[in-house]
Amino acid sequence: MSILNPAGILLASPARTEVNLPSSPSDPPVADEDAPSTEATPSLSPRLEVRLNFDSEFYFRGALVVFQVEDHLFRVPTYIFAAESSHFVTLFNLPMQDSHEGAAPFTVALPTDVRWEDFRSLLKALYPISVETTLVLSETEWISVLKLSTQWYFTHLRQIAIAQLESQPSFTPLNKIVLGRECFISSWFLSGLTSIAKRQEPITDDDIFYIGSSTTIQLFRLRELIKTKSSQYHESTILEGLYSAFADEILSIKAKEARHSEMISIKEEISYDSAEASRLSSEPSSKKKMKKGGLQKLGGRTSFPGVMGW
């Protein structure tokens, strides 16, 4: 039997031999010079070609890449970046071809504003070392993951980081304002401002340092209105005041936030199309609904023939 591997190389398996065994184990054969030889003789069986299939989940493509971040080097395979962020792959021109044995790894120097601790946190989330049902990262590490996943459009990882930080009991309104601004999460920004506007404690020096003097002044005004007209100020009224005071900033955050939401929608649709294309390719040709080389609507979505992953 011969085996044809994915690269098209024919692998020969050892030839099978047929041996004529005695009819009864208790009666060993008697040697006869005139009789035909009963020694084992090679017998060539028909050649069978077996085409190997790439596993859809656990055949990892891509090369190894070395990232230089400040004075640290990281060496990881590229396949996860292709799966999670095409933006990152394009931005740093990462190679997606399989590495040849002995080839030097591709090297990328990340921008100087990226801290190695932050990048390490991102890699911890992308390449878990231990087998865990959930990722175990500290709040500081999740903040690093959120910042870099936002910057480089790791949309799925960004969603996970947001959920993880929201579940942290130590995640303060000040955190929500700062990260809501930096990572374009409008609900956090509004929630943090609302909490500080409503709270009884005065605005602190830390608040002023992190949210800025302009924001602090607007919050002072809103807090004074709440104090003087406390019976008339409900949650909806506070939100109206915040939208009035921070209209431009809120609109800017929402616009950038929408880009990440659009990326999620695109990835979900392509994921659906890939699964549908895979299903149809496994059907008999008579049942295939997809026209080769063109686009076709499948279940209300546009199908991209041949697309096998994001």
Q: What is the pLDDT of residues 39-97, one digit of tens each?
A: 555 555 566 778 888 888 888 777 889 999 999 999 998 888 988 998 999 999 888 77
Predicted confidence at residue 297, as pLDDT, reads 38
Residue 77 phi, psi (nearest 5): -75, 155
Q: What percent of the chain has pLDDT over 70?
A: 65
CA separation for the pair 56, 276 (Å, rounded): 13
Q: Which of 101, 50, 234, 83 is nearest to 155 (CA)?
A: 83
Give, in order, the Cα–Cα distances in Å from 79 to each of 95, 189, 232, 306. 9, 34, 57, 19
The per-residue pLDDT for 104 is 76
Evaluate if residue 164 carries a pLDDT over 90: yes
Name the range with the highest mean pLDDT among 36-40, 51-55, 224-228, 305-309.
51-55
Angle subtended at Cα 133 by Cα 131 and Cα 135, rounded to the nearest 5 degrees: 80
Q: Between 238 and 130, whose confidence is greater?
A: 238
Rounded mean pLDDT, 188-210: 93
Residue 268's pLDDT is 56
| Ranges 153-157, 181-185, 280-284: which has the least confidence | 280-284
What local confidence, expressed as pLDDT, does residue 150 receive? 96
Is the model's pLDDT at 299 over the cut of 60? no
- CA atoms of 141 and 165, how far apart (whole Å): 10
State residue 302's pLDDT score: 37
SS (H, E, C) the chain: CEEECCCCCEEECCCCEECCCCCCCCCCCCCCCCCCCCCCEECCCCCCEEECCCCCCCCCCCCEEEEEECCEEEEEECHHHHHHCHHHHHHCCCCCCCCCCCCCCEEEECCCCCCHHHHHHHHHHHCCCCCCCCCCCCHHHHHHHHHHHHHCCCHHHHHHHHHHHHCCCCCCHHHHHHHHHHCCCHHHHHHHHHHHHHCCCCCCHHHHHHHCHHHHHHHHHHHHHHHHCCCCCCHHHHHHHHHHHCHHHHHHHHHHHHHHHHHHHHHHHHHHHHHHHHHHHCCCHHHCCCCCCCCEEECCEEECCCCCCC
Could you tell me if 119 and 106 are in contact, meaning their C-beta atoms sit under 8 angstroms apart? no
Residue 217 confidence (pLDDT) above 90: yes
pLDDT of residue 155 exceeding 80, the answer is yes
List the structure tokens of 119.
């990048």
CA distance 299 to 177: 41
| pLDDT over 50 at 248, yes or no | yes
Q: Which residues are paired to 46 by β-bridges?
A: none
Cβ pair 96, 62 in contact under 8 A: yes
pLDDT for res 4: 47
Residue that wins the pLDDT comparison between 289 and 51: 51
d(CA 134, CA 244): 41
Give residue 112's identity as a one-letter amino acid code.
T
Give mean pLDDT, residues 231-251.
82
Average pLDDT over every residue of 291-310: 38
Asked if pLDDT for residue 1 goes beyond 60, the answer is no
User: What percent of the chain lies above the pLDDT cut of 90?
Assistant: 42
Q: Which amino acid is at 91?
A: L
pTM of the model: 0.66
Return the pLDDT at 121: 96
Residue 51 is predicted with a pLDDT of 86
Most confident stretch, 190-194, 227-231, 237-241, 278-282: 190-194
Separation of alpha carbons 176 and 194, rounded Å: 11
Q: How far apart are CA 254 and CA 183, in angstroms?
A: 11
The band of 251, judged by pLDDT with boundaries at 50, 70 and 90, is: very high
